[in-house]
Structure 1
């Protein structure tokens, strides 16, 4: 499990293509690799991946075809920066909201508004996912826990503060880019439960 508080952006230094999977080599800082072991879970752009090897602060992850197909890791290239978060540990402060690292869908960047006063990103997602996205609600964006600023029929707006832009890769995304989305699990459970109850009442 993760908190959605990105610890660093780290560079993809190599991608090895094999049958059924790709192996990513990510250059991390000594602080991030301290205590990290093979088999541990690390969020890369919000995707929970298992560490397969650690070599001189280079961390390796095997990524299956399904994960490559449904997340933006499938479009990643050598030199790209990914948002990194180590797994949640007991006793640490939770500043965001609980994320599983299981990406539900990808959003398309519809617009970017960057002025002296603000930095906004407008995202578009498939209509079925908008049932779980609410004004002032939480959503995981490339592994970042963010608050929804505005909602439309097929998308939503994010207001990004300078600290978020500094610590994450969100400022690198342009119109047409794909961003990983994890909806809030509690919101999903509530919405799905209410829909089932209403459907039963209509049938009854």
Structure 2
């Protein structure tokens, strides 16, 4: 698990053949074989290292779901070591499991901040809420606005200087991890519905169990959020 607070920006040394090698310094201070390091939001396992770089294996599934295929030698990447019980949780809970990619639509200055607007698929946007948390290339950010096909985050100067976001431009692809809590809440709600209704809800285009619940008039209906339901699942 990670916090979305980037420790340093490394550089790709080599990529290809299912192997990614990255030049780094800070994240290598206490590294061990088998440790997890978040690379542009992707949780990777250290397979070898020395004082200046580390190597990780990359599965085809990871390539398909992320922007790794756009990296080349020298590309800057955001790095973060796995959190410990002593780590300050300055961002939010980040698993390092990418849900999909987004595309930079625009970058607009607003005072000392930069508004970054990103296009994203509906399957991702359903988990993104205004003032909620989202990880972009592994960076914990607060959502400023959500549209029908995009969302916006506001970047302070420190974030731009301490990450690879200052290299992004219109058309750049980024890795997106939505809030893990939203996905688990949805899963709990889906599991409370009859199997026939689960499929029907998605096929009808509503897709979200929250949408289904909002259309129920009886608070005691099966699957409704009640005090008993919340207590059952530890809330």
Q: Same fold (TM over 0.5)?
A: yes
Once residues 184 and 58 of structure 2 are traced to their aligned partners in structure 1, the CA distance between those partners, rounded to angstroms, is 28
Deviations 1:49-89 (A, max 9, x none): 00010123211111112211210112101010000000011
Greater C-alpha radius of gyration? 2
Give the structure with the higher percent strand.
1
What is the match of residue 3 of structure 1? 3
What count of residue pairs does the alignment treat as equivalent?
A: 199
Once residues 51 and 37 of structure 2 are traced to their aligned partners in structure 1, the CA distance between those partners, rounded to angstroms, is 17
Question: Deviation above 3 Å: which 4+ runs of structure 1?
Answer: 114-117, 191-204
Once residues 52 and 67 of structure 2 are traced to their aligned partners in structure 1, the CA distance between those partners, rounded to angstroms, is 24
> What's the secondary structure of 1:85's corresponding residue?
strand
Q: Is the 8 A contact 1:49 1:62 kept in 2?
A: yes
Q: Is the 8 A contact 1:132 1:191 kept in 2?
A: no
What is the match of residue 103 of structure 2? 108
TM-score with structure 1 setting the length: 0.90
CA RMSD of aligned residues (A): 2.0
Following TM superposition, by how much is the alpha carbon of 1:189 offset from its aligned partner in structure 2, in angstroms? 2.1
Deviations 1:105-127 (A, max 9, x none): 10111111136543111001111
What is the match of residue 26 of structure 1? 22
What is the match of residue 180 of structure 1? 175
Gaps of 5+ in 1: none
> What's the secondary structure of 1:132's corresponding residue?
coil
- Identify which of 88, 92, 96 aligns with 1:97: 92
Gaps of 5+ in 2: 194-208, 223-235
